[in-house]
Amino acid sequence: MSSKPKMDDHLRERIISQPDVILEDQDLMHALIAANERAMGGNIVDLRGIAMDRLEARLDRLEDTHRSVIAAAYDNLAGTNQVHRAILRMLDPTEFEAFLHNLGGEVADILRVSSVRLILESVQDDTDPAVQRLGDVLSVAEPGFVSRYIENGRSGERPVTLRQLSGGEGALHGDAAAHIRSEACLRLDFGSGRLPGMLVLGAEDPHQFTPQQGTDLLAFFAGVFERAMRRWLS
């Protein structure tokens, strides 16, 4: 009998000269390990093989976690850039009416929302001509409306509330109300002696605003908006 391996000479020489090629190929290593187990027979337990399988499973989990962390980091960076661009665009107008119309226009487009509505609590009605001209963005409500709408029977005064809906309030979201599936309610504080307000962002995507998401970026957006509004209200 010949002891010469049943392998092409060229392939054998290449493997001997470059063994790392096999070690780095996961499928080849699995095939070699399986062949070794078959050669040992069914009565032998290969503890080294079992340990390798467990280590490989752990490595796969680590790689999945690594990919998830990287994806989350990219999402956070994209969200930060999006909010920063929206804030810069929001601060561009030099007149109040243009400031609010811009809020429902380009700022809404940057934030990828279908509806933006500013609610101001007031003891007066909304018959003011200025309020009526801004009716697509601005609404006036009686004192206490903001807390009732945000809390919806629950206690607490969170600055930002995210929730999913089966449809938005027509009085707030207007023509887009039927398509609103999630919204962000940003509570606004305009300073001592002034009634509170609220900025409501409505989206057609039910996953754009959910209670499990972080609210830091939207809280920052609301803080900048509050300071801009204080300038116009002074």
Q: Where are the domains of the chain?
A: 9-60, 80-233
Which one is the CATH code of 80-233: 3.30.450.40, 3.30.499.10, 3.20.20.70, 3.30.420.40? 3.30.450.40
Query: What are 79-120's pLDDT values in tens digits?
Result: 889 999 999 999 998 888 888 889 989 999 999 999 999 998
Q: Given pLDDT bands bounded at 50, 70 and 90, which one contains residue 202?
A: very high
Q: Given pLDDT bands bounded at 50, 70 and 90, which one contains residue 184?
A: very high
What the block records as the tokens of 99 is 């400031």
User: Which of these, 120, 142, 115, lies nearest to 131 by C-alpha position?
Assistant: 120
**How many whole angstroms separate alpha carbon 176 and alpha carbon 204?**
9
> Looking at residues 152-165, what average pLDDT do you find?
81
Q: Which of 9-23, 26-40, 185-199, 209-223 has the lowest mean pLDDT?
A: 26-40
**How many whole angstroms separate alpha carbon 193 and alpha carbon 37?**
80
DSSP state of 211: T
Per DSSP, what are the bridge partners of residue 185? 161, 200
pLDDT exceeds cutoff 50 at 174: yes
**How many whole angstroms separate alpha carbon 221 and alpha carbon 199?**
10
What's the whole-model pTM score?
Answer: 0.67
Given a contact cutoff of 8 angstroms between Cβ atoms, the answer to whether 87 and 224 are in contact is yes
Residues 6 or more apart whose Cβ sits within 8 Å of residue 206: 164, 165, 181, 182
